[in-house]
Amino acid sequence: MGESFTGKRAGVDRRTFLTGTALAGAAAATATAGRAAAVQTAGVKPIVIASGNGLRSQADDGETCVERAFRMITEGADVLDAVIAGVNIVELDPEDTSVGYGGLPDAHGNVTLDSCCMHGPKKRAGGVAAIQGVRTPSLVAQAVADKTDHHLIVGQGAQDLARQFGFTIEDDLNTDTSRRIFFEWKRRVDPAHYLDPERDAALRWRVLHDMARDGIIDPEHMYGTINCNGVNAAGDVCGVTTTSGLAWKIPGRVGDSPILGAGLYVDNDVGAAGSTGRGEANLYNCASYLVVEEMRRGAHPKDAGMTALARIRANTVDSRLLNEDGNPNFDVNFYVVDKQGRHAGVRFYSGDNRNYAVCTENGAELVPIEGLIS
Ligand code: GLY
């Protein structure tokens, strides 16, 4: 299942790349516009949005997640098929240590993956959690939606089901990179073997942040994840979220990504919202569901996302999760698109120029994520 991947990455200077690809994208969009005309029935301009890694990993042909999903949508593909084909590029990228193959493993060194997807018009959803051995958990999540009566399958059961569906099961989804980083983490944490549990937890948290500070892991890859949502010309909305979850998590820990309403929510009458960042915050607040419900009440995607962030902030009271200003010491991002194609990326902090990926008829671009707290 899935495609081969040669590990191509968008260059460091993504903006330079975009200058070229925006032109190419515009040309491609013009070319695809004719093909798309037949399916444009509702007057909606197709759009795909994703977390920033949706414009970083590249397939063999150079396409990124949002570009592939957008191309497929404008060619008439099912929107969920399109956004999943997009995130497959990231899942298969060994250099993205937050998603799929090569995702940072749990505390025992096992790469365990979470994903869910929702099909707006069919009102079907599926998810897998803590699945091992399958590079593309988003495709297994889709199979759960399409081929079973259930919404969420976890652990060994998810792997067994994937095997029955014909997915290739691998012994180990670690790459040299994820293994090297895991052993660096072990090296830093091992002296803690004899600490009491509270100190041990604090040390694990500090070591994780130290490794991000030291440039060993991408700060965005602590929780990792890609979310990608698309709307086609008929106004059909679909979304997918997929992740290797929190780095060094306690084995068995499941985050928000495979949980409908937390890491993703889609309503075909309204729009879609998905998330990256601290999954526990989303799980506690059912935040993606809240975003979609806010849009149902008429809110713009940005305001809907900000409302969810404010809710998470209000519900974060544990001192270990607060900074000196009394605000959350973690981040959560929402990628939100409504049925009309209006979109936004929002997060707690605006400080460090994070972007999300958007692809429209004008090509692919990175758009700044707006912060609740400056
Ligand atoms: N948002 C990804 C996770 O917490 O697992």
- Ligand 1 center–CA 27 separation, angstroms: 36
- Ligand 1 center–CA 331 separation, angstroms: 11
Residue 215: the pLDDT is 82
* Residue to substitute in 97, 205, 225, 275 for testing ligand 1 pocket (most ligand atoms within 8 angstroms of CB): 225
How far is it, in rounded angstroms, from Cα 263 to Cα 254? 11
Long-range CB contact pairs, 75-78, < 8 A, 24+ = 75/32, 75/35, 75/36, 76/35, 76/36, 76/38, 76/39, 78/119, 78/238
CB 138, CB 81: distance < 8 Å: no
Q: How many whole angstroms from its chain centre is CA 32?
A: 26
- Helix axes of 14-36 and 65-74: crossing angle, nearest 10 degrees: 10
Q: Which residue has the tokens 């090509």?
A: 363
How far is it, in rounded angstroms, from Cα 371 to Cα 31? 36
Question: What is this structure's pTM?
Answer: 0.77
How far is it, in rounded angstroms, from Cα 99 to Cα 245? 8
| Both tokens assigned to 226 | 């890609």
Q: How many whole angstroms from its chain centre is CA 4?
A: 21
CB-ligand 1 contact for 137 (6 Å cutoff): no
Greatest Cα-to-Cα distance within the chain, rounded to the nearest angstrom: 66
* Residue to substitute in 256, 259, 285, 288 for testing ligand 1 pocket (most ligand atoms within 8 angstroms of CB): 256
- Ligand 1 center–CA 324 separation, angstroms: 24
- Ligand 1 center–CA 160 separation, angstroms: 23
Q: Ligand 1: which atom is nearest the Cα of residue 114?
A: 5
CB-ligand 1 contact for 258 (6 Å cutoff): no
> Could you give the 3-state DSSP secondary structure of residue 122?
coil
Whole-Å CA distances, 135 to 95, 100, 198:
13, 5, 34
Which residues does 207 contact at the CB level (< 8 Å), separation at least 6?
A: 185, 188, 189
CB-ligand 1 contact for 255 (6 Å cutoff): yes
CB-ligand 1 contact for 185 (6 Å cutoff): no
CB-ligand 1 contact for 239 (6 Å cutoff): no
Taking CA atoms only, the protein residue closest to ligand 1 atom 4 is: 279
Closest by CA to 116, choosing from 105, 102, 126, is 126
Tell me which H or E stretch contains 102: none
CB 7, CB 175: distance < 8 Å: no
* Residue to substitute in 249, 257, 334 for testing ligand 1 pocket (most ligand atoms within 8 angstroms of CB): 257
Which residues does 208 contact at the CB level (< 8 Å), separation at least 6?
A: 185, 217, 222, 247, 248
Residues taking part in catalysis: 225
CB-ligand 1 contact for 274 (6 Å cutoff): no
Question: What letter represents residue 285's amino acid?
Answer: N
Residue 190: the pLDDT is 63
Q: Which residue has the tokens 């969420």?
A: 152
Side-chain half-sphere exposure of 24, counting CA atoms within 13 A: 11
CB-ligand 1 contact for 25 (6 Å cutoff): no
- Ligand 1 center–CA 35 separation, angstroms: 37
Residue 208: the pLDDT is 77
Dihedral angle, C-alpha 294, 300, 301, 306, nearest 10 °: -70
- Ligand 1 center–CA 223 separation, angstroms: 5
Residue 367: the pLDDT is 96
Residue 184: the pLDDT is 82
Taking CA atoms only, the protein residue closest to ligand 1 atom 5 is: 245
Residue-by-residue pLDDT tens, the chain, 374 positions: 434 444 455 543 333 233 333 333 333 343 333 333 334 456 889 999 999 999 999 999 999 999 999 999 999 999 999 999 999 999 999 999 999 999 999 989 999 999 999 999 999 999 999 999 999 999 999 999 999 999 999 999 999 999 999 999 999 999 999 999 988 888 777 654 444 556 666 777 778 778 878 888 776 666 668 999 999 999 999 999 999 998 888 888 999 999 999 999 999 999 999 999 999 999 999 999 999 999 999 999 999 999 999 999 999 998 888 999 999 999 999 999 999 999 999 999 987 788 999 999 999 999 999 999 98
CB-ligand 1 contact for 233 (6 Å cutoff): no
- Ligand 1 center–CA 255 separation, angstroms: 5
